[in-house]
A and B are shown apart, each in its own frame.
Chain A
Amino acid sequence: MRRHRIRALIAVLIAVILQTTVFPRPFGASPNLVMLVAIGIGLYMDPELAVVSGFVGGFLNDLLGNTILGLWALVITVVAYGASQYRRQAEGNLIRMILGIFALTIAGQILFGIVGTLFGQGFLADTSLVIGVLLTGVLSLMLAVLVLPLVSRLVAGGRWFALVGPGPERAIW
């Protein structure tokens, strides 16, 4: 268990470094890698570990970015918790899992925009915000095909293509 915790935190750290490095931005938007890893931990691992990983990843994201400190920490913590609670609904159902990941990334971006604006960041002044949020959701979903198997196998110690969290898993193939 302790090994899994360390792996989860290392995965989050790597995601933050990659996210803040020159990450490919096709069409002017980038997938949210840190949020994806937090969602993966929520789907495949212990809910408490998901919440802690979400907070750590979000906090590091805040420290290495220029948005107010604590904003990403709040958002990714909530998204990771949401993923861990959604796990039962997504169990064994690929379509539900895809829809869940898409909805969680979109909800995370919207929460970020609203809370950031409440704290004076002016994100809602961006007239292309809706397109940006949707594009980030789609790109994150595309990247999920690569990231979630890595989280499932290398972090959670499960199968490469698993549809459920800890316990009996059902492989896609």
Chain B
Amino acid sequence: MLNARRRFDRSTALLITFVVISIILMTVDVRGSNGGFAGSMRSVTQAVVAPIQGAANAVVRPIAGFVDGLANLAGLRSENAALREELDEANRRLAETEPLRSENEELRKLLNLPSVGALQSQIARVQARGSSDFDHSIVVNKGSADGVVVDYPVRNVDGLVGRVVSVTENSARVLLLTNPNHAVEVQVVGSEDRGSAKGRGASDLQFISATAEQEITEGATLVTDAGRYPAGLLVGYASETAQRQAGFAIQTPIKPAVDFSTLDFVEILFFVPVDPAVQLAPAESDS
């Protein structure tokens, strides 16, 4: 009985000690600037664990694919039909926008503004995800050895994914758009309205604009505004119509263009924003 009591006390003392250590760590991390002590520890750990994660990934990925496939089996047929329709619609739109695209390219050349397509980039594969559903970040298998640096934007075939927040030699951590501490400047296609799209975890992004004059209609397309990201990257679509109320900012949810739960390959754009003028990394080769 006495022994059990002593053990209980020791485990309680250990608990209190570890809770205090955790609070100190959190305080140091929150107060530290530019990563600091915590950032250095994370980089070292990520560099050590990255090869193990890569190996584990090779084993787990087929199993994960199988489980996802089973979960989505019923919806595959209807999804296939919907995708065919979308493809037809996309081809039709592509044919319509081709003259506009070449006109846009010419105007950009005249204004000396390189387009997203002219940027050097690096294709990377998702190697690890956040450590929980609260952690909206991924780790990709390209790092400083491949020319990746902090703040480079990341996209996939559907649209903007996020931006690089830390880099090791062979891996990089990408903060997803859905992260509650992440916001991206956006503009509504077809209007002059601008605002920011803020992450809200698993929920849709939130569009907030204090300057928008027009109403934002459901389905409106939002793309990145020039600044931290290159202009024109697809962010998502307005889920609801929102009208400006006197004295209040327009707010409406945005359905992200990217499905963040199925990310596999992404493209890291070698884009270096310099405020206020946007400067681009030189395009050396297509990769």
Contact = CB atoms under 8 A, between A and B. Distances in A.
A interface SS class:
helix
A62 B26 CA distance: 10
Interface string A34-51: 100000000000111011
Interface string B263-274: 000000000000
B21 interface: yes
Contacts of A23: 60, 64, 129
Contacts of B261: 25, 28
Contacts of A48: 7, 10-11, 14
Interface string A113-156: 10110011111011111001000100000000000000000000
A21 B22 CA distance: 24
A52 B21 CA distance: 12
Contacts of A61: 131-132
A47 B21 contact: no
Q: Which of B49, B71, B133 has the most chain A CB within a 10 Å cutoff?
A: B133
B201 A126 contact: yes
Contacts of A71: 22, 26
B25 interface: yes
Interface in A39-76: 46-48, 50-52, 54-55, 58, 60-74
A26 B22 contact: no
A173 interface: no
A18 B56 CA distance: 7
A165 to B, nearest CB: 12
B interface SS class:
helix
Q: Which of B135, B136, B175 has the most chain A CB within a 10 Å cutoff?
A: B135
A65 B25 CA distance: 15
A48 to B, nearest CB: 5
Given A17-B52, A120-B30, A127 B11 contact: no
Nearest to B259: A28
A64 B128 contact: yes
Contacts of A69: 25-26, 28-29, 38, 41-42
Contacts of A119: 26, 30
B18 A51 contact: yes
Nearest to A73: B22
A107 to B, nearest CB: 15
Nearest to A126: B201
B248 interface: no
B160 interface: no
Interface in B1-22: 7-8, 10-12, 14-15, 18-19, 21-22
Given A27-B71, A68-B26, A136 B133 contact: yes
Interface stretch (A3-11, A77-85, A96-104): A77-85
Contacts of B175: 66
B173 interface: yes
A21 B36 CA distance: 25
Nearest to A54: B18
A121 B29 CA distance: 12
A22 B57 contact: yes
A31 to B, nearest CB: 10
Interface of A: 16-30, 32, 34, 46-48, 50-52, 54-55, 58, 60-74, 77-78, 81, 84, 112-113, 115-116, 119-123, 125-129, 132, 136
What 8 A-B pairs are tightest by C-beta distance, nearest first?
Answer: A126-B201, A70-B25, A65-B131, A74-B22, A47-B11, A122-B180, A66-B137, A70-B22
8 contacts: A30-B133, A48-B11, A55-B22, A65-B130, A65-B135, A69-B25, A71-B26, A123-B201
